[in-house]
Amino acid sequence: MSPRALACPASLKGCLSASDAAERLVAGFRVAGVEADALPVADGGEGTLEVLCGAGFPYEVSDAFGQPRWALVCELLDGTRVVEAAQAIPLDPERLDAMHASSRGLGELIAAIGEGPMIVAIGGTATMDGGAGLLKVVDRLPGPTRVLYDVTTRLYDAPRLYGPQKGARPEQIAELEARLRAISQLAPYSELPGSGAAGGLGAALASLGAELVPGAETVLDLLGFDPVPYDLVVTGEGTVDATTWEGKAPAAVARRCRDAGVQCVVFGGLVLEGDAVALSGDPGRAPDDLVELGGRLGSSLRLA
C-alpha cells in the first residue's frame, strides 16, 4: 500500500496562510510520489475563520484605533457564526500602541450579527484594554458563545507577557495591569485559563457568559482531525518557540499524533525552542521551502 501524508500547518504570519502552506507541502509530497491531503489548522488566532469556513460575509467596523475596516464573519453548517477578533482589531506591526488600542470594533462586530450561537476566536489582536471597548458596545451576547483562546495566560499576567509585543514600554506595564484590575466586572474571571488572551478579551467575554475553551483543540475537533489513516503528519508555523508548545495548533496536532501512534514532523520558519525542522528562515523563500520539505519527507517515507 502506498504511503499517505497529511499536511496540516498553521499560518506562517506575514508569509503564507495556513491553506497556502498546506498546498505547498502537498505539492512537495506529490512530486515525491506520495499521496497527500491538506487540512490547514489554527488555534483561535489569526486565520481561524479561514480554516473553519474558507470565506465569510463582510461587516464594517472600527479597528483598534477607530479607523473603518471590513471584518468577515462566517457560518458553520449548524448555523453557528464564527467571529475572528483579528478581523476587526488586528495586531499591526506598523502601529503598536497598547495604551490606546481599543476592542470596541470587536464589540461592533458582535452587535451587528444578530441572534444565535457564536464562536469568537480572540487571538492576534492589538489590544490590552481588558475588553473595555467591547463592553461599552455589548452588554449581552447574542447566544451561546464559545471563546477560542490561543494562550492560557491569566488576566493580570497579560500586560507583562504580551504588553511589549503590542507596543507597551517597560514603564507602562504596571499601568496596564492597574487598568485591568480596575475593571471590577473582570475580577471573578481573572484566574480562568485564557482570561488574559487578547489583552483581557477572554475575561471580558467570560463576564458576559461565554465559555473559554482551548482554541487549537476546539478547531481540530471542528475540522474532524484524525491522523490514524496516515503514515505521516506534517504541521508547523512561522516561528516555533516556547508559546508553540503551550497550546498552539502545531503542538496540539503533534500531541494527538503521538497518542494515535502516528509519526509527526513539526517545522518552523524559525525554530527557537523544541524539536522541529527549521526552514531557511527567509520569508521570501517560505513557499519553496515547504515544497522542498514535502518532497524530502515524501522521499523518506517512500524509502521507509
pLDDT score at 70: 97
Determine the Cα–Cα distance for residues 141 and 198; give it in Å rounded to an integer: 18
- pLDDT exceeds 90 at position 121: yes
Sequence spans of domains, the chain = 4-41+225-303, 48-216
Q: What percent of the chain has pLDDT over 90?
A: 88
Task: Please tell me the class of the 4-41+225-303 domain.
Answer: alpha beta
47: its cell numbers: 486565520
pLDDT score at 281: 87
pLDDT score at 147: 98
pLDDT score at 200: 97
Longest distance between any two alpha carbons in the chain, whole Å? 62
Determine the Cα–Cα distance for residues 276 and 145; give it in Å rounded to an integer: 35
Average pLDDT in the 202-209 region? Answer: 98
Q: What is the DSSP letter of 36?
A: E
pLDDT tens digits, residue range 64-100? Answer: 999 999 999 999 999 999 999 999 999 999 999 999 9
pLDDT score at 176: 97
Model confidence band, residue 61 (pLDDT cutoffs 50, 70, 90): very high
Model confidence band, residue 304 (pLDDT cutoffs 50, 70, 90): low
Model confidence band, residue 54 (pLDDT cutoffs 50, 70, 90): confident
CB 5 within 8 A of CB 34: yes
Q: What is the enclosing helix (H) or strand (E) of 269?
A: strand 263-271
110: its cell numbers: 458582535
Q: What percent of the chain has pLDDT over 70?
A: 99
CATH hierarchy code of domain 48-216: 3.90.1510.10
pTM metric for this prediction: 0.93
